[in-house]
Amino acid sequence: MTGSPFSRRLPGAVGTLRAWGELLRVSALLSVPGDALAGAAAAGFRPGRGTAWAIGASLCLYEAGMALNDWADRDVDAVERPHRPLPSGRVAPGAALGAAGALTVTGLALASRAGRPALAVASALAATVWAYDLRLKHTAAGPAAMATARGLDLLLGALAAGPAEGVRQSPPLTPGAPGGRTGLSATGAGSRAGISAAHRRTGISATAVGSRTGTSGTVADRRTRISSADRRTGIGAVVAGSRPGTSLAAPATTAPARRTAITVLRAAAPAAATLAAHTYAVTAVSRHEAHGGSTAVPLGALATTALLCVLTAETGSSRSGARTRPLTGARTGARPWPPTSTRPRTRTGAPPPPSAAVRDLLGRAMANRITLLLAAAYLRTAARPLLDAALNPSPQLTQRAVGGGIRAMIPLQAALAARSGAPVAGLALLGLAPAARRLARRISPT
């Protein structure tokens, strides 16, 4: 026998898979999960279910951009890169465009599972990816658009790991007079109809006033009424007790989801800016990989890499103690990171014993050392190819510098996570670097 029908079709199937692997640049995929993990660490959260959704969304949107990029550049690649999957005919242009659309929709669907703030950032990320591939890639705004996309990807991970909505807490019952007895309280139930019909008619959002006893309840805000937002969130009013000399405080609610999202974004903004700056430098170099001939651009990218290495490796009390009051999540399962304060106290409120302080100092020193090592790994991965491209700006060395810059995102993400107080996550991310290097030898990431 000459072989089964399956074995005769296998080479064609392998060729198709390889063509799609080249189209989607799967060797660069390992540079994506670190965005979500670094974002979660920068915002002060441990990775959780939302982080998994964010990683899935990031992978889909990243691959959508790769497919759309080749579809938009199919005419240019026919001249400069005829071996690419679309010009060579191994993948149909319509199939590449359809894959880009399907991956975009899938990515947004996955991001929606992590909450509305995460979906909003994912939508902005998808819009940036499509705008870059279709309009901005060959303009002066191309590197900035690509840098924005990578920064948004890190912010997506920060919001996905953080609270999805504002925290709602039932207020404690506070006596209005010494020795007074507390009355009954009623809170809203449900997500949209939490306020009773009587409250809607009267418009009273604080404690009701006792009419028979001559005593009045405590009013949280005499100038405000129940708004439509209160009806949507289901926050009810607290009814005053009917006993003389008693009153109940108005419900104390935390900041709404919008304010909580802004807090998370502010915490993760420095890490996002660092990753965006590296992406800008690598994208600027990539604009010359087809023809080469640029020395100043690789030198500028090398200077940027060195500066980012120094800034990321910066240690000290101002950095290591920046997360003594971590953010807390409103969604079930969202745990703050670090899980406890960096300066624990005993039950009586007294300062910790010397042994605890020593352990705290040792932990900070170890985290700082890991951050320094990861930052050095980032510099080593990106600097050597950039220097070679600056000394000999040939297309081959320029393309190698771009590939090194893409792989250098992994140790950079690891260093950002360790610097934010998650050294274990940083070391785990660094484990992806050898796999990315081996995979890049088979399929080019550029």
Query: Which SS3 state, helix, strand or coil, does residue 83 take?
Result: coil
Q: What is the pLDDT of residue 290?
A: 83
- Say how far apart CA 421 and CA 175 lie, in whole Å: 42
For the entire predicted model, the pTM comes to 0.72
163: which 2 tokens? 């609270």
- Say how far apart CA 405 and CA 297 lie, in whole Å: 13
Q: What is the pLDDT of residue 390?
A: 94
315: which 2 tokens? 């240690």
- Say how far apart CA 185 and CA 410 lie, in whole Å: 53
**Cis (ω within 30 of 0) for the bond into 93?**
no
> Could you report how far apart the first and last alpha carbons of the chain are, in Å?
42
Does residue 420 contact residue 46 with C-beta atoms inside 8 Å? no
Residue type, 9: R
Residue type, 275: L
21: which 2 tokens? 């692997």
418: which 2 tokens? 């360790």
Low-confidence ranges of the chain (pLDDT < 50): 1-10, 165-255, 316-343
Phi, psi of 81 (to 5 degrees): -135, 70
DSSP state of 394: -
- Say how far apart CA 345 and CA 424 lie, in whole Å: 25
The three-point CA angle 332-336-340 to 5° equals 125
Contacts of 122 (CB under 8 A, 6+ apart): 57, 61, 107, 108, 111, 112, 156
- Say how far apart CA 265 and CA 154 lie, in whole Å: 10
- Say how far apart CA 299 and CA 294 lie, in whole Å: 9
Q: What is the pLDDT of residue 197?
A: 41
- Say how far apart CA 329 and CA 343 lie, in whole Å: 20
* Other Cβ atoms closer than 10 A to 126: 23
